[in-house]
Structure 1
């Protein structure tokens, strides 16, 4: 089996990188803007159950313990972006996460995933602001974590890929993260979960032009990360438990949804199932 290749958000998930919560992380929760201190034992139990769900779907789970002392490091989607040639090390806009891309290199190497490129200063890019719409189209959110210099940097890192930028809303400001993936989660080539009230108009136009139908997240479930779900394969999704109306809406569109408990690993740090995973290989 190939070890990497993931220019897709909805293909069958075959390999995925996660980072285990560590005891050393808990003391830094305030510095990293978590809502409250995580319970380490509870977080580790939730994370283990989360990994078991991924394995039950047929994915190989690659577990890392990089960058101890950084609670955000469990959100492995942000420091790298994997494409057909390997991993591109990003440069997070959040300064406390700047060590993470290089810290993942050893784990990636052990997993057989080469480093295909690096994003250098002054550009800032976080994975949560990148969405593969298809194999040749990369959507990029421009906001407080990913700046305008990201566009040229990503175009150079992924030659032949069309990068399309969207301005993100101010929302709660720089102190509370608003990623592009806070607003959209692809579920299949022609289906995506979206929160339209905050979605850029040009994004909604693009989805319509590309024939991508929209499952709308209700207002009351946006704040609880209803729009953040991980596609396990076409019309198969892993979602944070508690967003019941969003789940029902996906199921009515033919999506098979499984849920996980994330009181410690998701709700306290504002990171859903996409944030907790870096897909390394999709079919």
Structure 2
């Protein structure tokens, strides 16, 4: 496949190709820290989400479900697609450890080469990575993403002249709770980001201010219903989980076009919003 059909170094450039993975309806949802979903709703809501992205101009690549791996529907976490291809992670959550290689196979089938893998004591989740611009990648150091991962990613991204900027993720409720960088920030344009300020690191807030990035704050109530997890399909065109009317209205006040999907089971019950469900393959 021609190299112009993959490559990501933005959170809001037009999302031309995206990979989703069908949800597994088998497996231990409780052990994966889900609230028990309705299997039919899992499938129907995921299909409707894929249809929504396609209607917004995205080429949607859908990988098969992986029986028993309930978190695998959250295709963002096992890897990161850069300008040159995919970097596969190692994951600290035991039930997710098979996912990076499985996602790597799906990437290669979609024509996206694997250019590197984290090794040794380097562990990461994709939810801890955001592009501020095409040469600046912010990485959340968290209970899921280690300092060694930051070091290895600097080396892997050096050929692309990318600066890796680490920020520390708050302890919050501890290592058993999934708190990623994208839990409290979602860029929706180069100059606009949805943020939950109570959890945002000071250094990140200072960086946003220095760059002139306007913050659209999420309140406490809508933070709990994934109001801070927003997927930009192009600048100021955003996809949100249904049921967050205040942040939706706030985005529209800032000139955004918004689209929602019913994520009661596929998103809210597994704590994974639209960014979590998507592995962007090509933005630009």
TM range (shorter): over 0.9
Which residue number in structure 2 is paired with residue 108 of structure 1? 107
**Displacement after TM superposition at 1:121 (Å):** 2.1
TM alignment of 1:1-283, pairs within 5 A: 2-24=4-26, 27-34=27-34, 36-65=35-64, 67-159=66-158, 160-283=161-284
- Cα distance, 1:148 vs structure 2: 1.5
Q: Deviations over 1:17-43 (max 9, x none)?
A: 10101333xx31012111x22221111
Q: Alignment partner of 2:115: what SS?
A: strand
Superposition RMSD in Å: 1.1
Task: State the distance in 1 between where 2:221 and 2:265 align.
Answer: 21
SS at the partner of 2:152?
Answer: helix
Cα distance per residue 1:177-206 (max 9 Å; x no partner): 000000100011111111111100110100
Say which SS state the counterpart of residue 239 (structure 2) adopts. Answer: strand
User: Contact 1:187 / 1:236 at 8 angstroms: preserved in 2?
Assistant: yes
The two structures have a TM-score, normalised by structure 2, of 0.96
Equivalent-residue separation in structure 1 for 2:54 and 2:116 (angstroms): 29
Where structure 1 has 5 or more consecutive residues not aligned to the other structure, the ranges are: none
**Distance 1:68-1:157 versus aligned 2 partners, 3 A rule:** farther
Residues in 1 aligned to 2:93 and 2:206: alpha-carbon distance in whole angstroms: 30
| Mapped contact 2:141–2:169 kept (Cα < 8 A) | yes
Residues 67, 100 of structure 1: 8 Å contact kept: no
- Indicate if the aligned counterparts of 1:9 and 1:132 stay in contact, CA closer than 8 A: yes
- 1:134 deviation in Å? 0.7
Structure 1 distance, partners of 2:227, 2:233, is 16
Q: Distance in 2 between matches of 1:120 and 1:38?
A: 34
Q: How many residues align?
A: 280
Segments of structure 2 that go 5 or more residues without pairing to the other structure are: none
